[in-house]
Structure 1
């Protein structure tokens, strides 16, 4: 057991409390395994009627996965430890998605990457004025995994493609607008909400009673532009659409998003678009997670991941040298190899 995630019982609630404040509660392998074990135990405990997922302290819910472990694995062991982490993390994601008891996730503060993976499966997803929600993986040569293919591809108006490619950050109101959150509560009301739910009050009623009217979502003003420019399933078409709007119509928004996309890994962007497109053809979340495990196994050891983490997190020079450097250098054959099936004994399987 690890003290990086804490478990407790209050009334009818089993409470999962992430406890790595210095790392903004980023998930480790031990944390994933501990949560899997506790959730399995609570699933068979009739006294536990609901599971609450929160963070113990600090400024964020969960900033993602253990990026340093993944980079060290990519550099030193051919990705073996990284694949093990993905395998267990995705099992946790699937367990939450298929859990028989209601789950309430409190997305108060930074909710990114792995934090999305443990909050999106919840029936009730609570955003606050502090929420900063993003899938920023294309900036480090990865892709929106932990179920991102499933969730983002199913958002209306191509908002998922916009989030996946740009890594845009949504606040709580924008999460509610997009359907990524089910409720918007003031942060000061969270303790009361948890207490009432643990006391056995009906979850939806508690959250509705404590909800406040969210501010106008800023992203809504650009919904039409997102739908139009991100309607394409190829990166080149997205870039061309934004460029034309910026140059011919003087769109400042298009120019800003175009500049953002040009800082991202072309490989990661193309992987992400195919991932979202393919996910829509899948019938089950387990199939999606198996697909993402295959992608992750390959992308982890390609040059862009280690380089992206170096530039953004290690050296912080924000100047990654992507390989290939341009979208046209990422061929369909390269993508086919990333998405190809694994041998049956190597493939991901749920619990």
Structure 2
């Protein structure tokens, strides 16, 4: 059957489990409005069904759990000046993120392949984020001049570790791509299960007992993030982008120079917005964070950097964005405060 004729979210009940399959494999299961509606319907259905003891979430196609939201469609709407379409998309997506966080039963995401942006949003607020060695998790929004949304302004500042939420800032600003084991080390994922064991884990979960996950987990193999943690906490604890760049310069390592180069490629406006978002998010509950993010989408999607960032990364794919303003040093703090409505 042609993919366009298939359901983009396939929800059902198997045994004692509600199952949700994101089914746009050619689009790497990127979330569009139809998929978000499918999630909302499944959540409402499974929440009150006494036959459903837990929910299993997966992505079709073997390459991705969910590569994010359909930001090209959002860019098209922004270029048309269709603020209502943008508002509807983010409002419905964030409502699903909150509903997952408030879901009264285990919500178990089996993440095998790419999981970014909106894919983090449909997993990170649940009880179990199971990753394989083929999982790849990231919040890459600063490269397209958005910001870490889908409730991650709540999650990222609360990742394990000290130094002023340094790990969350590192992930948010650099868009670092974490392999499955690294995602467990960072706290974005909760359990590591090799890909070959996923089918057996899924079959066991159909009995309705989430604790069986513990029978399948393996120790996280050394994968590099722990060895970087001390440097991340030294360099990304700063309150401003300037503080962080100065700390990276003082660090003086190849790793630090690489992070500096990455930050210099990102949208300056997006980075300052993202840092402010995480600082505010650290003091809010999840509903407050989602409300703040929704307000911010209205300003950020109108900013010229958003259309330009999506063009450079996802449309023309030349990876040569022209930012406005072009450097961090030229950012007007008052303009950033205005984007937050302050």
Moved more, 11-20 or 180-189: 180-189
CA contact (8 A) 1:126 1:181 kept: yes
Write out the 4+ residue segments of structure 1 that deviate beyond 6 Å after TM superposition: none
CA contact (8 A) 1:128 1:185 kept: yes
Q: Report the Cα distance in structure 2 between the residues aligned to 1:333 and 1:259, rounded to whole angstroms.
A: 26
Tell me whether 1:203 sits opposite 2:228 in the alignment.
Answer: no
Q: Report the Cα distance in structure 2 between the residues aligned to 1:159 and 1:22, rounded to whole angstroms.
A: 32
Q: Which residue of 1 aligns with 2:280?
A: 278
CA contact (8 A) 2:62 2:112 kept: no
The two structures have a TM-score, normalised by structure 1, of 0.93
Q: Which residue of 1 aligns with 2:172?
A: 164
Q: Which residue of 1 aligns with 2:45?
A: 41
Q: Which residue of 2 aligns with 1:101?
A: 105
CA contact (8 A) 1:70 1:79 kept: no
Q: Which residue of 2 aligns with 1:30?
A: 34
Q: Deviations over 1:63-107 (max 9, x none)?
A: 000111111011012433122110100000000011111110111
Match of 1:238 among 233, 239, 244: 244
Q: Report the Cα distance in structure 2 between the residues aligned to 1:146 and 1:2, rounded to whole angstroms.
A: 26
Cα 1:293–1:2, aligned 2, differ >3 Å: closer, same or farther? farther
Please, which runs of 5 or more residues in structure 2 have no aligned partner?
Answer: none
Match of 1:79 among 72, 78, 83: 83
What is the RMSD of the two structures over their aligned residues, measured on CA atoms? 1.3
Q: Deviations over 1:22-42 (max 9, x none)?
A: 110000011101210121021
Spell out the pairing of 1:1-351 with structure 2 (5 A cutoff). 3-155=7-159, 156-157=161-162, 158-200=166-208, 202-204=209-211, 206-246=212-252, 251-282=253-284, 284-340=285-341
Deviation at 1:2, TM superposition (A): 7.0
Deviation at 1:236, TM superposition (A): 1.2
Q: Report the Cα distance in structure 2 between the residues aligned to 1:85 and 1:32, rounded to whole angstroms.
A: 8
Q: Report the Cα distance in structure 2 between the residues aligned to 1:256 and 1:242, rounded to whole angstroms.
A: 9
The two structures have a TM-score, normalised by structure 2, of 0.95
Deviation at 1:244, TM superposition (A): 3.0
Partner of 1:51, secondary structure, is: strand
